[in-house]
Amino acid sequence: MSTAILTGQPVPGSSIEGDLRSLGFEVRTASDAADASALLTEVPGDQRVAVVDTRFVGHLHALRLGLTDPRFPLAAIPGAVTAQPGARQALTRAMARENAAGGALLVDSLADRVAAALDADVHRPDLGSLVAAVPADPQARNEARQAVAAVDDEAVRLKSAVKARDGFFTTFCISPYSRYLARWCARRGLTPNQVTTASLLTALIAAGCAATGTRGGFIAAGLLLLFSFVLDCTDGQLARYSLQYSTLGAWLDATFDRAKEYAYYAGLALGAARGGDDVWALALGAMVLQTCRHVVDFSFNEANHDATANTSPTAALSGKLDSVGWTVWVRRMIVLPIGERWAMVAVLTAVTTPRITFYALLIGCAFAATYTTAGRVLRSLTRKAQRTDRAAQALADLADSGPLTELVLRAGRGTYPRGGYYAAFAGGLLVVISAALWGAGWQTALCAVAYVVLSAVAVQNPLKGALDWLVPPVFRAAEYGTVLILAAESKVNGALPAAFGLVAAVAYHHYDTVYRIRGDAGAPPKWLVRAVGGHEGRTLVVVVLAALLTGAQFEVALTVLAGAVALVVLVESIRFWVASHLGGAPAVHDEGEPA
């Protein structure tokens, strides 16, 4: 329960008390500033509290935006200020200062004066066309009421439920009706997390339909995948419509997106196998390529989001292109965001074969990856950005270096040459090319040892160079690519599915690291990274197992390794996010880029 303290002389005909109750507030009235301060101290410390001027005139949704958004400890709009439990002390101090400065009788405009006196950051939402005012006289009140009547606050609320920046397919083919589905869910008390779970279940059923290998199953799979995406859009729109943001919800939304897509790839591969076509290598290749694309996005953004002097001619050109309407949509479509990607996969699943679907997916994702990576490399080379220590730490966490890297660095004691992205590239190319040339041979094992050493060299210094953000994606490509090649060359039927499971488990760990950093929750604990070996340790283990074991034994080893990694990272990840949610971690809602 939340509490709202009304201050000032009551205004006949005002709806403010009813509006506050409709938003879930228990309303109390203060006769003067001293009474407001006393009421504030009586509110339990685990409740949100708001101070609202009785003269407030405005839209209900303006009050909702100003007083109920869980992401911000302190927030204010004209005539109202609110504090969550963690920011109550700041509100209490500001109230005390106003009482000391203005005296007990000055209760008019108390909410605005307290908001101005706060000694902490106050979120002030952009209300757009919504009205929020404290009229000083009857004429101003009448004008404010007319302004309220002139704007449909429900239409504004529905429009704001849609993500501000999204792909072409999502914007024009999904959001025009999914926003109404979000409102329908809100009016029936459904939560975004429930819709997110429904989207996951729908995608898993779609994967099961694809796994049947029949034309009817493929058609049903395509339709269900599209419906899953509709629900995927709806959960975020429901969160924005009803301001139901949470740390757990952000994690579920991001994690389930990857689980849905990669489970669908597995379903397609199983369906193709029923028809006598082995496309597991294509399915694993699509997962590897898509994951590496995402890591490029995450690494570049983390390296530059708080950098200083962060401008370049390339970025300026990009801004100019975005000022031309049609180029905005073309550039958003060619990077094949989740809407376009899932639509393409759904249609091709229904009308073609899994092999053709994966070929189209690999070609589209390869082009998108080349386009985005090349643009970011050009930006990095032409800008004079100064990376911060936080950015360097984020890149180090994304690198996922394990105990072997620590051992090599301790043994070298700073004697290695300057590392960075070129050491990562050298090591990655060495192990991947050797796996492709010699397969499970001793040469590959020696190159894997060299990869371990070069990986340590790459991260021995803070990753603050212009292109050091490439280090994590290079490590991902080296590890995943080595597993893919060795499994394919083992010539055992079950090796590629086992490799798919291993890469999926490791990719989950890497995505989880990203979401923790994005949510300011820090990287996974060191013991977890050590327990799963780090990228260099897992790569070396897979190479050694391939060299020492027969094909059938290698398949079993990959399966066991996949199960062990999945068990460790899933248990720790679920425990962490649930504990964070129950512990009152700040709500998160990351608009981000279309995934």
Tens of pLDDT, residue by residue over 106-136, are 566 889 999 998 988 999 999 999 999 999 8
Q: Is the pLDDT of residue 201 over 80?
A: yes
Q: Find the angle CA(296)-CA(264)-CA(284) to the nearest 5 degrees.
A: 55
Compute the average pLDDT of residues 61-85.
Answer: 95
Mean pLDDT value of segment 14-29? 95
Confidence at residue 315, expressed as pLDDT on a 0 to 100 scale:
54
How many CB atoms are located within 10 Å of the residue 344 CB?
A: 16
Among the ranges given (14-18, 176-180, 539-543, 589-593), the one the predictor scored with the smallest mean pLDDT: 589-593
Pairing of strands 49-53, 80-83: antiparallel
Q: Is pLDDT of 566 > 90? A: yes
Q: Over 50: is that where the pLDDT of 104 sits?
A: no
pLDDT, position 582: 84
pLDDT for the residue numbered 308: 62
Scan for tokens 């290598």, then name that residue: 281
Which residue, among 86, 88, 65, 85, has the nearest Cα to 77 in the 3D structure?
A: 65
The separation between CA 100 and the C-alpha centre of its own chain, rounded to angstroms, equals 45
Angle 113-117-120 from CA coordinates, rounded to 5°: 135
Is pLDDT of 322 > 80?
no
Cα atoms in the 13 Å half-sphere on the side-chain side of 470:
23
For 265-290, what is each residue's pLDDT tens digit?
999 999 999 999 999 999 999 999 99
The mean pLDDT of the chain is 91
- Checking if the pLDDT of 230 tops 60, the result is yes
Cβ 420 vs Cβ 469: under 8 Å: no
Q: Is 50 exceeded by the pLDDT of residue 105?
A: no
pLDDT at 212 over 70: yes
Which ranges constitute the DSSP H helices of 352-470? 354-382, 389-399, 403-412, 421-438, 442-459
Residues 6+ apart with CB under 8 A from 293: 365, 368, 369, 372
pLDDT at 314: 55
pLDDT > 90: what percent of the chain?
Answer: 76
Give pLDDT, residue 316. 55
Neighbours of 347 (CB within 10 A): 15
Residue scoring higher pLDDT (206 or 579): 206
- Least confident stretch, 22-31, 105-114, 333-342, 395-404: 105-114
pLDDT tens string 241-251: 999 998 889 89
Tell me, what's the pLDDT at 419?
Answer: 76
- pLDDT number for residue 573: 96
pLDDT above 60: residue 536: yes
- Report the pLDDT value the prediction gives residue 325, as an integer from 0 to 100: 63
User: What integer pLDDT is reported at residue 304 of this predicted model?
Assistant: 86
What average pLDDT does range 137-145 have in this prediction? 93
Residues in the chain, total:
595
Summarised one tens digit per residue, pLDDT across range 488-515 is 999 899 999 999 999 999 999 999 999 9
On whether the CB atoms of residues 246 and 584 are closer than 8 A, the answer is no
Question: How does pLDDT run across 311-321, given as a tens digit for each residue?
Answer: 656 555 555 55
H helix or E strand, kind and range, residue 456: helix 442-459
Residue 180 pLDDT exceeds 70:
yes
pLDDT class for 199, splitting at 50, 70, 90?
very high
Confidence tier at 593 by pLDDT (50, 70, 90) = low
Q: Give the residue-averaged pLDDT of 478-485.
A: 98
Tell me how far CA of residue 540 lies from CA of 112, 122, 435, 501, 535, in angstroms. Answer: 62, 50, 12, 18, 9
CA distance 301 to 255: 19
pLDDT bracket for residue 310 (50, 70, 90)? low
Spatial separation of the C-alpha atoms in residues 357 and 496, rounded to whole Å: 18
pLDDT, one tens digit per residue, over 86-103 is 899 999 999 888 877 654
